[in-house]
Structure 1
Amino acid sequence: MQTPPLLNVVLRQKETHTVIVLAGVMDRDSVPAFTAAMAEVSRAGAAAVHVDLSAVAFCDCSGLTALLTAARDSRTEGRTWQAYAPSPAALRLFTLTGTAGILLGSGSRVSGPDETAAKRFEDRSPASPV
Structure 2
Amino acid sequence: MQTPPLLHVELRQEETRTVIVLAGAMDRDCVPVFTAAMAEVARAGAAAVHVDLSAVAFCDCSGLTALLTAAQDSRAEGRTLRVHAPSPAVLRLFTLTGTVGILLGPGPRTFGPDETAAKRFEDRFPAPPV
Band the TM-score falls in, shorter-chain normalisation: 0.7 to 0.9
The answer on 1:112 being equivalent to 2:125 is no
Matching residue's letter, 2:120: G
**Partner-residue secondary structure (3-state), 2:120:** coil
Deviations 1:88-129 (A, max 9, x none): 11000001111011111122568534556444x548xxxxxx
Matching residue's letter, 2:102: I
Matching residue's letter, 1:21: V
**Contact map agreement 2:9 2:33 (CA 8 A) in 1:** yes
- Determine the structure 2 residue equivalent to 1:69: 69
**Contact map agreement 1:26 1:62 (CA 8 A) in 2:** yes
TM-score where L is the length of structure 1: 0.84
RMSD between aligned alpha carbons? 2.0
Structure 2: gaps of 5 or more residues:
110-117
Cα distance in 1 for partners of 2:41, 2:48 equals 9
Matching residue's letter, 1:16: T
Q: Share of identical aligned residues, percent?
A: 75
**Contact map agreement 1:71 1:81 (CA 8 A) in 2:** yes
**Contact map agreement 2:25 2:57 (CA 8 A) in 1:** yes
Runs (4 or more) in structure 1 with deviation over 4 Å come to 108-111, 114-119
Greater radius of gyration (CA)? 1
